[in-house]
Amino acid sequence: MWFLNPFEAIGRWRRARAARRSQVPEALWRMVESALPFLDYLPADGRPRLRALALEFLAAKEMAAAQGFELTDAVRLSIALQACVPILELGLDYYQGWVGIVVYPGDFLIPRRHTDEHGVVHEYGEAALGEAWEGGPVVLSWAGGEGVNVVLHEFAHKLDMANGATDGMPPLHAGMSREAWARAFGEAYAQFCRFVDEGHDPWLDPYAAESPSEFFAVASEAFFEAPLLLREDMAAVYEQMRLFYRQDPAEGERRARALSPR
């Protein structure tokens, strides 16, 4: 449980009050949610709780547009809903310590600095779809990329950073085992990297092979968007994520498929 000092408690109360006062037309909710089919995997009471959390998120965070992008109510609501899916059972305090979200219309350049083995400093811009900075903002491309959920990905990084290390292991709950997490993710990551290195085309975004942190972020995308596939292919990873996120979207997807017309 997070410790709240009096100022944090007051801030939480103000966020909740602002969220209660927010008025979002039902038609706008439905339009935005219709573009996020994985919300159908939420439990029966999940949709209204997610909406309430998204409004609190919007009251707590500040969004800004870049490069002339139009930050409409629909865009803001979509980002908030997606960002809150991972913390639906964890709470908004898991995103504490920062406030900014910057949204670009497409990919953007991140300034990089590299010193080679000869001591020569190279400065360049690296194209990216998203970036999460420890203690700083989340930067997103609204256009995203094919087969990529930039919002889920970058907010998974924010959770990974919550213990002060971007290493693919977020702060685990009491009762969870660091050894079990490290074993599940370590084995799956090593196997995935071998698979990619051998030239195979994995169903999971190959970018997951970049580092343990990227593997966690990409696997988090799959956990919410393709949970049955992740559970089938990486059962141990799925189980650790189920314990951490305190959600079971694979069962939600199974129910959704059973209810969908054939």
* pLDDT tens digits along 124-172: 556 678 899 888 999 999 987 678 999 999 999 999 999 888 999 999 9
Could you tell me which of 185, 236, 225 has the C-alpha nearest to residue 203?
225
Residue 19 has pLDDT above 80, yes or no: no
Domains in the chain: boundaries: 6-259
Please count the CA atoms within 13 angstroms of the CA of 129 that sit on its side-chain side. 14
CA distance 99 to 239: 31
- Domain 6-259 is found in CATH 3.40.390.10: yes
More confident residue, 18 or 95: 95
> Phi first, then psi: what are they for 98, rounded to 5°?
-160, 160
Integer Rg of the chain from CA: 19
Rounded to a whole number of angstroms, the distance between the first and last alpha carbons of the chain is 44
Sole residue written with tokens 């803001």? 76
The pLDDT score that the predictor gives to residue 107 is 79
Q: So what's the pLDDT on residue 7?
A: 40
Q: Which pTM value belongs to this model?
A: 0.88
CA separation for the pair 220, 85 (Å, rounded): 11
Contact 99, 80 (CB under 8 A): no
State the Cα–Cα distance between residues 153 and 171, nearest whole angstrom: 17
pLDDT value at residue 111: 64
Residue 235, φ and ψ in degrees, nearest 5: -60, -40
Pairing of strands 100-104, 108-115: unpaired
| Secondary structure element (H or E) that encloses residue 25, with its range | none
* Residues 35, 117: Cα–Cα separation, whole Å: 48
Using CA atoms, how far apart are residues 234 and 12, in angstroms rounded to an integer? Answer: 37
Please, are residues 103 and 65 in contact by the beta-carbon 8 Å criterion? yes
Helix (H) / strand (E) containing 172: none
Our CA angle for 82, 218, 133, nearest 5°, is 70
Among the listed ranges 17-26, 57-66, 115-124, 145-154, which one has the minimum average pLDDT value?
115-124
